[in-house]
Chains A and B, each alone.
Chain A
Amino acid sequence: MNPDRRHFLGWGAAAAGAAAVTTLAPGFRLIELAQARSPQEAASKLQRWGLLIDITKCGECDACVTACHEENGVTGHGRPETDAQWIRKVSLRDKRTGYAQTLPLMCQHCEHPPCVDVCPTGASFKRDDGIVLVDKHTCIGCRYCVMACPYAARSFVHEATSGQKPDVPRGKGTVESCTLCVHRVDRGETPACVEACNKDGGKAMAFGDLNDASSEIHRRLKSQPSSQIRADLALNTGVRYQGL
């Protein structure tokens, strides 16, 4: 065999091998993406965390609300008008047919968040992995973001707080909202509401990376109908609903 022929065959085998690796199966990887980041690794733009909520499975319970407020140490003072609220159950009712539905509503973690647009100090921001947060170190409590949010997802802390959770600082004079349980997500866990819904509720909520083709949430969004609340605002929310 002359050297040229041998090289040609070698290249051919290499090309065939590469093609086989890339086309083994859609969504199949030889090395799986790691779910939990190491503490030394910054949040990445490659990921976009989101929720998919199947309202047809959402019943009358409020396991998600209880779990959220327990996890994040959100306590009230018995004043529903001003108490902080990170997630709430909303009831919908078709006036003509009387068909009633209920769904959990929280920060929708928009791609183009209005709360970030209006913040005068840059305290309201979107992390690279799509989670919208309030940096309470720079929040001055002006509440522009509370006004700007079309989902009324944000709350203002009116009163001095105590007994905060070490992972979830909260304080008087700042605005807060659902963080998608960022402290749990950074540890590679799912948000408290999703965990509670799958354990005690109707298994209506799913959490995952919208960009990861192998994730359940990506697969379901690709193959089944889903909707955003106020899709007309073109905010591209990270929280999607089914059966709305």
Chain B
Amino acid sequence: MMRIAAGIVAAVLLLAGVADAGEKQASRVSVPVVKIEKGEACVAPTGEMRRDHMKMLLHQRDRTMRQGLREPRFSLKGCVDCHASQKTGSVLGKEGFCSSCHEYAAVSIDCFECHSPNPRKQAAAKP
């Protein structure tokens, strides 16, 4: 009985894998590359981050700019420090954490017109 169940699960997984690969090939739009380079956990659960990261950044932006509150939790510098690609050292570019998803969703990001897409140099030394 257990063997049959395991077989079914394996078959389903295999089929899903095939379907996934097929979808990737069929689509003309490249699927976003979500590669987490550093850190065990983000500042909030993944679902919340996907839905609300822009709200967090907007809120933090005004508090930092106007009141001088440089709280590390939702800081853009913090995002970049963890999510910048080890290869290119940036969150932009073809496989960049920010740009690949935003390109897929056809949402333009203006953050990096002014902000640096590269992590802080001393970031590695700090705990």
Q: Is the interface of A mostly helix, strand, loop or mixed?
A: loop
CB contacts under 8 Å to B, within A20-48, are 37, 39-43
Within the complex, what minimum Cβ distance (angstroms) separates B49 from chain A? Answer: 21
A186-B80 Cα distance, complex, nearest whole Å: 20
Stretch at the interface among A90-98, A133-141, A214-222: A133-141
CB contacts under 8 Å to B, within A161-194, are 161, 163-167, 169-172, 174, 182, 186
Residue B69, interface by CB 8 Å = yes
Report whether B114 and A174 are in contact in the complex, using a CB–CB cutoff of 8 Å: yes
The answer to whether residues A171 and B113 also contact, given A39-B71, A166-B80, A166-B119 and a CB cut-off of 8 A, is: yes
Using a Cβ cutoff of 8 Å, how many contacts connect chains A and B? 54
A39-B113 Cα distance, complex, nearest whole Å: 25
A202-B119 Cα distance, complex, nearest whole Å: 35
Residue A60, interface by CB 8 Å = no
Within the complex, what minimum Cβ distance (angstroms) separates B45 from chain A? Answer: 23
Report whether B115 and A133 are in contact in the complex, using a CB–CB cutoff of 8 Å: no
Report whether A135 and B70 are in contact in the complex, using a CB–CB cutoff of 8 Å: no
Within the complex, what minimum Cβ distance (angstroms) separates B56 from chain A? Answer: 15
Within the complex, what minimum Cβ distance (angstroms) separates B69 from chain A? Answer: 6
Residue A125, interface by CB 8 Å = yes
Residue A128, interface by CB 8 Å = yes
Report whether B66 and A129 are in contact in the complex, using a CB–CB cutoff of 8 Å: no
The answer to whether residues A127 and B69 also contact, given A166-B118, A169-B114, A171-B113 and a CB cut-off of 8 A, is: no
Report whether B115 and A186 are in contact in the complex, using a CB–CB cutoff of 8 Å: no
Report whether B65 and A133 are in contact in the complex, using a CB–CB cutoff of 8 Å: yes
Report whether B80 and A129 are in contact in the complex, using a CB–CB cutoff of 8 Å: no
The answer to whether residues A137 and B61 also contact, given A166-B119, A169-B116, A171-B114 and a CB cut-off of 8 A, is: yes
When distances are taken between beta carbons in the complex, the residues of chain B under 8 Å from A161 are 114
